Amino acid sequence: MNEIYDMNPKPTIYHEKQVKELCALHALNNLFQTRGTFSKSELDSICSRLSPNVWINPHRSMLGLGNYDINVIMAALQKKGCEAVWFDKRKDPGCLDLSNICGFILNVPSDYKLGFVMLPLRRRHWITIRQIQGNFYNLDSKLEAPQLIGRSIDLIAYLKEQLDSKEKELFVVVSKEVEEKQLWMNQYALQNNIQHTNTNHQQNHCDSPDSASEYDYRNRDVECLKVTEVRNCMVRRENGS
């Protein structure tokens, strides 16, 4: 008897589901596709290193249930040799070089529930998107199962749709080397971006400061330290300085 083999078996996908306010923890573990890549205690430790000797840590919820901010995610990724690069939503996601990208972390607004009661509070929710065996999946911890997005062209369309919302922010997760050489962006798009930046820089010598084209981090919905500031803070704390 001839045996029939499935030539396209469904991939095995690790998918952590939502517990308390630990979506950042789930997003990190779903990104690396391994249970226990990070633990709550590790993220709490990062919070303490980022803001030592404070009664209320600004990088997590007051009750210590989670709700970690982007600084914690950045510092956690750096432990694994990765960086989180904020994506300027004014750019077309088509400029991304997907072959050099580990995954994406999307930050979206989220309603807060206590049981079945919707409370008038707003939280920020972290979602991982990454490629597994050729297809991209939405690994949102609030989903019952991973959601298939599709191939590269489907991902670009999906990201465009998500970034149409001013309340959503996208972070591109790459290796340290890729971040340093900016290989996460197509070289053609990168060259155009450099030329555009140089043009804006020349214009800004004549314009007022309010007309500067650079993104103002103070106006962002998500608190975000520059990657280098997070790294330097972690190094100083680990050296005991």
User: Looking at the annotation, which residues are catalytic?
Assistant: 23, 125
SS3 196: helix
Q: What are phi and psi of 106, to 5 degrees?
A: -105, 135
Alpha carbon 101 to its chain's center: 12
- Residue tagged 């330097």 (tokens): 232
Residue 178: count of CB within 10 angstroms of its CB: 20
DSSP 49-60: HHS-S-SS-TTS
51's tokens: 């803001």
Alpha carbon 227 to its chain's center: 12
Helix or strand holding residue 74 (H, E): helix 70-79
**Sign of the Cα pseudo-torsion (200, 221, 131, 73, in order):** positive
